[in-house]
Amino acid sequence: MYLKIILLIALILTHYANAEESPRSADHGVILAYHHVSAETPASTSISPTHFAAHLDYLAQNDFNVWPLDKMVRHLQQGLAVPENTVALTFDDAYASVFNQVHPELTQRRWPYTVFVNTHAIDSKLQAYMTWEQLGQLAQAGVTIGNHSHSHSHLVRPTPNETQTQWQARIILDIRTAQQRIEAETGQVPTLFAYPYGEYTQTISQWVTDLGLIGFGQHSGAVGAGSDFSALPRFPLGGPYTSLSHLATRLNARPLYIDAEPRGPIDQLRDHKTWVTLNIEPDAFAMNQLRCYASQQGLMEMQAPEQAQFITIRPQAPLHAGRNKYNCTAPHQHEPGVFFWWSYLIMQPNSDGSWYSG
């Protein structure tokens, strides 16, 4: 009798231990986003070859599974298992350093990766970028070629006096042009699309989805089965964010599932005193350990209504013109160094309603 009771208690404890982390966050992956791999290019979007090699060594030494990006997406969409410590490597803009520095390193390790190509730069034969011949060699070697638009323009900005219909037609033509150029030059038909500058809105992401593409931003977070496949998060690694400690924190991220009201991304925040309400899916973290941060400001104001899973947040001061992000994180209750992570994008124009430069 006592043995049966002990076994029953053990089964119950096992059930709760296994349920403590939901299946949606248990199967997850992390996507890293690089641009230049060079010590001679703009610091904000660059990582030196030495630091990049250290990143690869870290992945190898800590037994990370480097997967093709499309395989990770397919597994998450279909509810298939994704092993712990699974990461995908991506490179935006098809810079020459990817061919010269990245490809030899990753070929030697037999690791897959994705290059997102903005085709106008390649067609224009700009010196900083790869050539179509080089991209063809990568495609032949099994590298995934993704769509990064033709023009690499700010897709969220209609031109003056442009109607919604004209704006939509221009953006769709821009993306389709890149599709056609990539297929013609490499033989690959892209299924993956990275938003230029990581900028998108709900309207833009719907157009991308309607074109049959999976979208990727540059907002932070891990990806899981419950993620938005029209705009999946990636961790940008460049400028001040290239140390191994930064890398380790991002590799250990788990998806934090939040429904925000207003739903993001939003194209402007009229008043910084506006509260954003977060409906947070419980997981293996304590709600009182959740912290949210605004771009260039730090810790945000936070209020917790009576319902346990609801929290409201707002920035301490007006947002700067440009891309703004709210990042919310919560530490795992039982795994030191592991954080659940969620990001919210706000495209903020200038005070007069005009678009910011850059």
| Three-class secondary structure of residue 232 per DSSP | strand
Instruction: Answer yes or no: are the C-beta atoms of 127 and 100 closer than 8 Å.
Output: no
Write down the pLDDT at residue 107: 98
Q: What is the Cα gyration radius of the chain?
A: 21
- CA-to-CA distance for 96 and 92, rounded, in angstroms? 11
| Three-class secondary structure of residue 298 per DSSP | strand
pLDDT (tens, 9 = 90+) of the chain, 358 residues, equals 433 333 332 333 333 334 344 556 779 999 999 999 999 999 999 999 999 999 999 999 999 999 999 999 999 999 999 999 999 999 999 999 999 999 999 999 999 999 999 999 999 999 999 999 999 999 999 999 999 999 999 999 999 899 999 999 999 999 999 999 999 999 999 999 999 999 999 999 999 999 999 999 999 999 999 999 999 999 999 999 999 999 999 999 999 999 999 998 988 777 778 899 999 999 999 888 999 999 999 999 999 876 668 999 999 999 988 899 999 999 999 999 999 999 999 998 888 777 777 6
Element (H, E) at 14: helix 2-19
Indicate the CATH number of 24-255 among 3.90.1150.10, 3.60.15.10, 3.40.50.300, 3.20.20.370: 3.20.20.370
Full-model pTM: 0.92
Write down the pLDDT at residue 356: 75
What are the angstrom distances between the C-alpha of 106 and each of 78, 102, 110?
28, 6, 6
What is the domain partition of the chain in residue ranges? 24-255, 260-348
Domain 260-348: state its class. mainly beta
Task: Say what the alpha-carbon torsion angle 204, 207, 212, 218 is, to the nearest 10 degrees.
Answer: 0
- CA-to-CA distance for 106 and 91, rounded, in angstroms? 12
Write down the pLDDT at residue 323: 92
Element (H, E) at 326: strand 322-331
Q: Which among 177, 197, 198, 180 is positioned nearest to 189, based on CA atoms?
A: 180
Write down the pLDDT at residue 17: 39
Instruction: Answer yes or no: are the C-beta atoms of 58 and 244 closer than 8 Å.
Output: yes
